Amino acid sequence: MRLLTLFLFLSSTAFGQMAYTDSIERHRDAYRADFLKPGNGPLKNEADVAALRFFAPDSAYRVIATAQRTLNAEPFDMPTYSGKTSPYVSYATLSFTLNGQPCQLTVFRSLRLASNPKYRDYLFLPIKDATSGGETYGGGRYLDLRLGSIREGKLLLDFNKAYNPYCAYSDGYSCPIPPAGNRLTVAINAGEMTYGKEH
């Protein structure tokens, strides 16, 4: 009976990982396809898109974070790698454990996008981690979140969906610089890796 129970547990775990892997691969297929739409960024053809690289999907980098709203947050200008700035406001502090280490990140709201009905619920999470400048782009990576993703003070944070800013592929873009408080010492071996071509 114990062997049967163990077998059923391992089978369900394996099936769950396979389903999760499939969902991440579909997400990445849509991400690649989006680059090939007219006017959608620096990658212009299938050869450019084929050079995108990712870590293998890993559900260990899919965590539940506690979201603590930032009270009385003041707008500020977030610097970008082009030297320009963009207005943001801190929305919440995210607390979670990753690879056994307690972590905190701040998620932001763009004041420019907040006035656009299409992106009114958009939240922005720029990060750096121990892979930045090595396996991943040195300028950091981003995650897109939505206000509705925070429920009862909890948020599902999936680093397998972390992606590179346009600056990773080409010069001439104003990519926000992850603030000092969003630079983790833990290695996030998930999401997009360094681009496979020089620019």
Encoding tokens for residue 82? 């082009």
- Give the separation between CA 177 and CA 83, rounded to whole angstroms: 10
Percentage of the chain modeled with pLDDT above 90: 80
SS (H, E, C) 32-90: HHHHCCCCCCCCCCHHHHHCCCECCCCHHHEEEEEEEECCCCCCEEEEECCCCEEEEEE
Query: What distance, in Å, lies between the first and last C-alpha atoms of the chain?
Result: 59
Q: What is the pLDDT of residues 18-51, one digit of tens each?
A: 899 999 999 999 999 999 988 778 998 999 999 9
In this structure, which amino acid lies at residue 76? F
Question: E strand or H helix at 13, and its extent?
Answer: helix 2-35
- Higher-pLDDT residue of 5 and 109 is 109
- Residue 102 binned pLDDT confidence (cut-offs 50, 70, 90): very high
pLDDT, residue 9, reads 41
Domain that holds residue 62: 2-182
Query: For residue 196, is it within any domain?
Result: no
pLDDT, residue 40, reads 72
Query: For residue 199, is it within any domain?
Result: no
Mean pLDDT value of segment 81-92: 94
Q: Dihedral through CA 45, CA 51, CA 55, CA 59, nearest 10?
A: 10
Q: What is the pLDDT of residues 151-192, one digit of tens each?
A: 999 999 999 999 999 999 998 899 999 999 999 999 999 999
Query: For residue 188, is it within any domain?
Result: no
Mean pLDDT value of segment 48-77: 96
Query: For residue 128, is it within any domain?
Result: yes
Query: For residue 101, is it within any domain?
Result: yes
In this structure, which amino acid lies at residue 53? R
- Give the separation between CA 32 and CA 22, rounded to whole angstroms: 15
Q: What is the pTM of this model?
A: 0.89
Query: For residue 131, is it within any domain?
Result: yes
Query: For residue 191, is it within any domain?
Result: no
DSSP designation for 177: P
Query: For residue 193, is it within any domain?
Result: no
pLDDT, residue 198, reads 78
Total structural domains in the chain? 1
- Residue 111 binned pLDDT confidence (cut-offs 50, 70, 90): very high
Averaged pLDDT score across all residues of the chain? 90
User: Do the Cβ atoms of 65 and 157 come closer than 8 Å?
Assistant: yes
Tell the burial category of 112 from Cβ atoms under 10 Å away from its Cβ (0-12, 13-18, 19+). exposed
pLDDT, residue 188, reads 98
pLDDT, residue 119, reads 85
Place of tokens 């620019």: 199
CB contact burial 121-135 (16+ within 10 A = b; e otherwise): ebbbbbbbbbbbeee
